[in-house]
Amino acid sequence: MKILITGGVGFIGLHLTKHLLQNEDNEITLADNFFRGEKDKELEEILKNDRVTLIELDLTNKDEYEKLGNGYDYIYHLAAVNGTKYFYEMPEEVLRINILSLIYILEWMRSENKEGKLLFTSSNEAYAGAIEAFGKLPIPTPENVPLVISDVYNPRWSYAGTKLIGEQFVIHYAEKYKLKAVIVRPHNFFGQRAGFSHVIPEFALRIADKKDPFEIFGTEETRTFCYIEDAVEAMKLLMESKNTDTHPIETVHIGGEEEITMEGLAEKMFESAGWRPNKIEKKEAPKGSVKRRKADITKIKKLVGWTPKTALKEGLKKTYDWYALRS
């Protein structure tokens, strides 16, 4: 298969590439502008494989799409500006980059690569605002809940806004132009090389540095976490399944099943490190943060038979060990 991964040098992209390379028939093109991705040892190792090509381009510039060529069987559109600090510091760029890159990918597909199949990574942030707006959503939360931006003035929701409108773009382009596509909503993927601005990497680095007192924001908020190796397997299975070659297209959750508080998460990571601080400082969560979140993964089980294989404790140990070496 000929495969394109946008945002291919990022956290999900590189793990997905490794997973897809297990099939010797796959040839993979990575497209990235290195806004967040790094030319590190992991990427250098991947690029030694002659079945992997890297193209540097700006996906918000439609004139650069000629660099991609065509004839791709699968297009994994992962490229987006993510990370909470960016939501607050540059919401206008989060909106511009994420929306324009998706529009141009869809336009390129319908004109140059219409026979391919698209996987669009949305986010659980797309419905998180509904909890704030309505006070309650079903837990576990299914895919068909209302999508709400509870406060358009809060820059926190800039990223969620791009995913909400992004889902609509993919749904209606696919319907109008008979494109094959599937939408996935990731729920807190974690693992090695996930950057430094998410909760698990932040905890890992502070634990490795033995920060004491140890701050935890939103101690009673809950999440589920999905280890990256399980997550990319789910993405591959959804992309390759004929069960997702449908109109209207499928929207599918990918997530873990073990719900845990932020304080409980920290405790598991202390255990992984064999160290615990003398004092924990409990802090309020940032404004707009969601109190509880857990995906219903019934649909993906039915469509492709996927369930996460890696226990949270095991995934946290592998992740902590990787970050501890870089602290």
CATH number of the domain at 2-190+228-257+295-308, out of 3.10.440.10, 2.30.110.10, 3.40.50.720, 3.40.50.300?
3.40.50.720
> How distant is the alpha carbon of residue 261 from its chain centre?
20
Pick 141 or 136 by higher pLDDT.
141
Other residues' Cβ atoms within 10 Å of the Cβ of residue 27 = 17
Band of pLDDT at residue 211, cut at 50, 70 and 90: very high
Domain-wise residue ranges, the chain = 2-190+228-257+295-308
Across 113-133, average pLDDT? 85
Residues 292/222, Cβ–Cβ less than 8 Å: yes
**pLDDT at residue 156, rounded to an integer:** 85
Across 162-176, average pLDDT? 97
The C-alpha atoms of residue 238 and residue 183 are separated, in whole angstroms, by 9
Across 4-32, average pLDDT? 97
pLDDT digit string, tens, across residues 219-277: 999 999 999 999 999 999 999 999 999 999 999 999 999 999 999 999 999 999 999 99
